[in-house]
Homo-oligomer: A and B are copies of this chain.
Amino acid sequence: MAETVVPSARIAPDKPAGPDEERPFGGSTAPAELDAHAPDAAGKAVLDELVAALGGRDGGTDRLLTDPDTVAPYVHDEAEWAEYGSPLCVVRARSTDEVAAVVAACARHRVPVVARGAGTGLSGGANAVDGCVLLSLERMREILEINPTERLAVVQPGVVNDELREACAAQNLWYPPDPASAPWSTIGGNVATNAGGLCCVKYGVTRDYVLALEVVTASGEILRVGRRTAKGVVGYDLAGLLVGSEGTLGIITEITVKLRPARPAAPRTVVGFFDSLADCGAAVAAVTEQGLQPAVFELVDRECLHAVNAWKKAGLPENAAALLLAQTDLPEPAAEAEADAILATFERHGATEAMASTDPTEADALFAARRMAYPALEQLGMGMLTEDVCLPRARMAEMLGRIEEIGRTRGVRIATVAHAGDGNLHPLMLTPHGDDEARKRTKAAFDEIIETAVDLGGTVSGEHGVGLLKRDGMARELGPGVMALQRSIKDALDPDGILNPGKALG
């Protein structure tokens, strides 16, 4: 690879990088050769127009790439096993006008356009389809405005989540959505997938923060939807509709987000180890029922704890079924009262070890098991498929039990971290490389987890999106009537189906 744009594969370090790897999810297989797609007549016409519009290709410009080595890093996201095709080219747009020119050319010749940010997605939503223009927005990364009076920021789509957060912090403001990919993922990608994160248990997800969008429509028109005012009810909520639409309804070229005032610096941390999943689930429900509002409320399961012990000799209880971690960010002394109440709830519901801390170093140590879970699992050197089901809180413990059972009966090692307060579970399915039988078992476990989640009243994706991996699950969850409604929206906004075709809809 001539250039690494996809960040080092943090969650799936052994993610297949080449075309020879089997990708059992989705309709077509990987391309026989990872190469710029041999263009047909429409593709050639689009390429000619793009060369004219962007001033050349490859050596002639840094905007338009067709060289296989430079194209390669753009063809898929971080979704284990999701299919990807051979793009016609990659465009690294520098402005909304360039995006509009690209989409207009594609619209004229009915060539697909797949938009992408940093490529940290986990469901294949940004993967190339054969013959598409891959439109990278990574170079549109200016923070255009941070406004303390209106409590909003205006950014280009390629701004990295953590960069926006830091820029806001410098003005005593806070942009809450904090996906695990925050050091790398872009606001454009976060908006396209309606990204969640740790603090959404109290503060909401990306959609809750999007006020307005500039968008390039399927015909290449530049429009602004939404508002800069605190309130507004004029027209259907098109900005909200575009959030989470995974590039299938329009290409987002500018984003106005709502901000919050900065929070108190040091939250209080409470942890508890539980020997049974049922106790752990009851503790989560009891915290919620008492009206407590932890700003972070996470779960780490037995497999994760064992992996952390194996890696770091951390001495975490080997018998624990799960660890719960909560943080409260209320102003003192309300935070102390809330932390005490959470601790008492953990103890009342059978926590074998439970403790609270205000000391930042100690709090950090308490959170280490959560932070180290992914890297510890990575040490195992296996393929790792990340799941993302979300359950009603009252069914979370039951779902955790079912996941353990599915792992046992299918012969798949599954480690789970969860945003417990939201009922959002991330079972991580570990599969030895080069073991086709194991891969089939994993696929079967994946399908069974999705089916179980729907059966228990949950959703097949809490925060990662449908992309390619959850298309079947989506159809199962929504049913034919709602799927038809979804399709009618897609047809209305993208009648020729050129925007990220095959993604997000079943």
Residue positions of A touching B, CB distance < 8 A: 148-151, 172-173, 193-194, 196, 200-201, 204-205, 207-208, 217, 221, 223-225, 227-238, 240-241, 243-245, 249, 261-262, 285, 288-289, 291-293, 330-331, 334, 390-394, 419, 421-424, 457-466, 470, 473-474, 477-478, 481-482, 485-486, 488-493, 504-505
Q: Which of A194, A459, A460 has the most chain B CB atoms inside 10 A of its CB?
A: A459
Q: How far is the CA of A232 from the CA of B195 in the complex (A)?
A: 10
Min CB distance, A85 to chain B, in Å?
23
Min CB distance, A169 to chain B, in Å?
12
Give the residue of B223, B419, B478 whose beta carbon is less than 8 angstroms from that of A234: B478
Interchain CB contact under 8 A, A422 and B493: no
A462 to B, closest residue via Cβ: B231
Give the residue of B240, B481, B493 whose beta carbon is less than 8 angstroms from that of A488: B493
Interchain CB contact under 8 A, B150 and A392: yes
**Top 7 nearest A-B pairs by Cβ distance?**
A261-B291, A492-B492, A331-B334, A230-B422, A232-B459, A231-B462, A488-B492
Interchain CB contact under 8 A, B228 and A205: no
Given known pairs A241-B240, A244-B236, the reply for A223 and B482 (CB within 8 Å) is: yes
Interchain CB contact under 8 A, A424 and B234: no
Q: How far is the CA of A288 from the CA of B504 in the complex (A)?
A: 39
Interchain CB contact under 8 A, B240 and A207: yes
Known: A227-B459, A233-B461, A234-B461. 12 other contacts (CB 8 A): A196-B233, A231-B390, A231-B419, A232-B459, A233-B464, A234-B459, A234-B460, A235-B505, A237-B241, A237-B244, A488-B492, A488-B493
Min CB distance, A326 to chain B, in Å?
15
Residues on B with C-beta less than 8 A from A173 are 291
Interchain CB contact under 8 A, B390 and A232: yes
Min CB distance, A464 to chain B, in Å?
7
A207 to B, closest residue via Cβ: B237
Given known pairs A150-B392, A285-B149, the reply for A424 and B230 (CB within 8 Å) is: yes
* Interchain Cβ contacts under 8 Å between A and B, 12 examples: A150-B393, A150-B394, A194-B233, A225-B482, A230-B390, A231-B390, A233-B244, A233-B465, A234-B461, A236-B245, A237-B237, A488-B492
Min CB distance, A491 to chain B, in Å?
7
Given known pairs A288-B148, A424-B230, the reply for A235 and B486 (CB within 8 Å) is: yes
Min CB distance, A280 to chain B, in Å?
15
Q: How far is the CA of A149 from the CA of B391 in the complex (A)?
A: 12
Residues on B with C-beta less than 8 A from A458 are 229
Give the residue of B193, B200, B237, B473 whose beta carbon is less than 8 angstroms from that of A243: B237
Give the residue of B196, B227, B238 whose beta carbon is less than 8 angstroms from that of A485: B238
Q: How far is the CA of A424 from the CA of B397 in the complex (A)?
A: 44
Give the residue of B231, B237, B330, B460 whose beta carbon is less than 8 angstroms from that of A196: B231
Interchain CB contact under 8 A, A481 and B233: no
Interchain CB contact under 8 A, B422 and A236: no
Interchain CB contact under 8 A, B148 and A238: no
Min CB distance, A313 to chain B, in Å?
35
A491 to B, closest residue via Cβ: B492
Q: How far is the CA of A473 from the CA of B233 in the complex (A)?
A: 12
Min CB distance, A185 to chain B, in Å?
14
Interchain CB contact under 8 A, A485 and B493: yes
Q: How far is the CA of A392 from the CA of B232 in the complex (A)?
A: 11
Q: How far is the CA of A245 from the CA of B225 in the complex (A)?
A: 16
Interchain CB contact under 8 A, A235 and B482: yes
Q: Which of A151, A235, A334, A488 has the most chain B CB atoms inside 10 A of its CB?
A: A235
Q: How far is the CA of A478 from the CA of B223 in the complex (A)?
A: 10
Interchain CB contact under 8 A, B238 and A240: no
Min CB distance, A100 to chain B, in Å?
12
Q: How far is the CA of A421 from the CA of B229 in the complex (A)?
A: 11
Residues on B with C-beta less than 8 A from A293 are 261
Residues on B with C-beta less than 8 A from A231 are 196, 200, 205, 390, 419, 422-424, 459, 462-463
Interchain CB contact under 8 A, B244 and A241: no
Give the residue of B150, B208, B233, B288 whose beta carbon is less than 8 angstroms from that of A151: B288
Interchain CB contact under 8 A, A457 and B492: no
Residues on B with C-beta less than 8 A from A228 are 392, 457
Give the residue of B230, B393, B419, B489 whose beta carbon is less than 8 angstroms from that of A489: B489
Q: How far is the CA of A238 from the CA of B249 in the complex (A)?
A: 14
Residues on B with C-beta less than 8 A from A473 are 234
